[in-house]
Each structure stands twice: as structure tokens, then as C-alpha cells.
């Protein structure tokens, strides 16, 4: 059985860190049986995120993916573990769009402030690569890193991150600024 991994992306100026992971608790039938049940697997993997030091968990799944991945109560389970849970939906293999932007703007200032103070935030999508890597790189840019440096930092911590040309372009061109950021 593969172990659950949180990849650490360091932030500039000795700030906190971002942690990238696959969706906690996801798995097929065999994985669920071996893990002793889906709920136990979800609790164990959320516990690993808390043990890593996260105060918050950013979920980038679209609403339809919760059932598909077998984690319909992920948000409740995250809160029960002591994590502040935020749902910022992004379509798989895509860059963030308007739905993400609206949700992000409502919590952006608080999350960035806590990161700068040294706290840690975990980010996940399905595999912890495309959407998670894109949002992590965006946060690094918002904290002052040049886009290429941000992309390189995320890919060093989580090889394969930022999976599509659209995701890379979103960070390089600061596409969020076109959406009113």
C-alpha cells in the first residue's frame, strides 16, 4: 500500500510552507478494503496533513469529484480533524477560473497573512499535481517570487506539478490579474 505524502513547498523570507498532496481518503474498492474502510483511510490521511503542521486545507476538487473519489464528507472530516477547510473548485487539468477566483478572494488576505507569519497550508486536488501545483505557484507569485521561480520551486518539491500548458501560462502571465485580482 502506497503511503500518503505531503510535499513541502518552502515560502520566501522564512515564511510558512505549502503542502501538496493527493486527495485524502480517495481510493478504489481494493484500497478501501486494505485500508480498513474509507472513513479510516480519510481520517488517517487528514491526520497526516495535521501532523505535517497544516492549519488549513484547500480543496480544489469540483463538486462532482467528491462522490467519484469516495470522499463525500471530506469537508466535515477535515473540520473534525481541526483543519480550517476551504473549497476552491477548479476543473481538472485547467487553470483557475471565475468560481475559484470568487472563493479565493473571500479568504485570500487571511490565508496569505497566516502563511507570512509562518503557518502552513495544505493544498490538494485529485493527484496533487496540476491544480494544486498551479495554486501553490500562484501563492508564491503573490508572495513576491517571479513566476518562473515559483513554477520551478513547486516542481522541485512535487515533480509533475502544473500538468497542462494552460496551468503554466496562468502562472507565467498572472492570469488572475485579468480576472480583477
Of 14 and 145, the structure prediction assigns the larger pLDDT to 145
Residue 30 has pLDDT above 90, yes or no: no
What is the pTM assigned to this prediction?
Answer: 0.92
Residue 102 CB contacts under 8 Å (≥ 6 apart), including other chains: none
Lowest-pLDDT choice from 34-43, 100-109, 117-126: 34-43
Give the pLDDT confidence score for residue 35 in this predicted structure: 45
Residue 28 has pLDDT above 60, yes or no: no
Nearest to 147 by CA among 114, 175, 180, 172: 172
- In the chain, where the domains are located: 7-179
The CA–CA distances, whole Å, from 43 to 3, 21, 74, 153 equal: 14, 15, 9, 29
9 neighbors 158 (Cβ within 8 angstroms): yes
Of 14 and 57, the structure prediction assigns the larger pLDDT to 57
Q: What would you report as the CA-atom Rg of the chain, rounded to the nearest whole angstrom?
A: 15
| Active site amino acids | 125
Give the pLDDT confidence score for residue 114 in this predicted structure: 97
Name the phi and psi angles at 150, rounded to 5: -60, -45
Give the pLDDT band of residue 61 (cuts 50, 70, 90): very high
**DSSP 8-class letter at 128:** S
Give the pLDDT band of residue 14 (cuts 50, 70, 90): confident
Q: List the grid coordinates of 49.
A: 496533513
Q: What stretch of H or E contains 123?
A: strand 120-124
Give the pLDDT confidence score for residue 119 in this predicted structure: 98
Residue 22 has pLDDT above 80, yes or no: yes
Domain 7-179 maps to which CATH number in 2.30.30.100, 3.90.190.10, 2.40.50.100, 1.10.760.10? 3.90.190.10
Give the pLDDT confidence score for residue 2 in this predicted structure: 61
| Range 17-28 average pLDDT | 92
| Range 106-114 average pLDDT | 97
| Range 64-78 average pLDDT | 94
How does pLDDT run across 126-174, given as a tens digit for each residue?
Answer: 999 999 999 999 999 999 999 999 999 999 999 999 999 999 999 999 8
Amino acid at each position: 500500500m502506497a503511503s500518503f505524502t505531503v510535499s513541502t513547498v518552502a515560502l520566501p523570507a522564512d515564511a510558512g510552507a505549502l503542502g501538496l498532496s493527493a486527495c485524502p481518503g480517495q481510493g478504489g474498492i481494493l484500497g478501501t478494503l486494505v485500508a480498513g474502510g474509507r472513513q479510516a483511510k480519510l481520517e488517517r490521511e487528514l491526520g497526516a496533513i495535521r501532523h505535517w503542521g497544516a492549519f488549513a486545507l484547500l480543496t480544489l476538487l469540483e463538486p462532482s469529484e467528491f462522490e467519484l473519489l469516495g470522499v463525500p464528507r471530506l469537508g466535515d472530516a477535515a473540520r473534525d480533524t481541526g483543519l480550517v477547510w476551504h473549497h476552491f473548485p477548479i476543473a481538472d487539468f485547467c487553470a483557475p477560473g471565475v468560481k475559484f477566483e470568487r472563493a479565493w478572494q473571500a479568504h485570500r488576505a487571511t490565508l496569505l497573512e497566516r502563511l507570512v507569519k509562518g503557518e502552513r497550508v495544505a493544498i490538494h486536488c485529485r493527484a496533487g499535481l496540476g491544480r494544486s501545483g498551479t495554486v501553490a505557484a500562484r501563492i508564491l507569485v503573490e508572495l513576491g517570487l517571479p513566476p518562473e521561480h515559483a513554477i520551478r520551486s513547486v516542481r522541485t518539491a512535487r515533480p509533475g506539478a502544473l500538468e497542462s500548458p494552460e496551468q503554466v501560462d496562468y502562472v507565467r502571465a498572472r492570469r488572475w490579474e485579468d480576472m480583477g485580482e
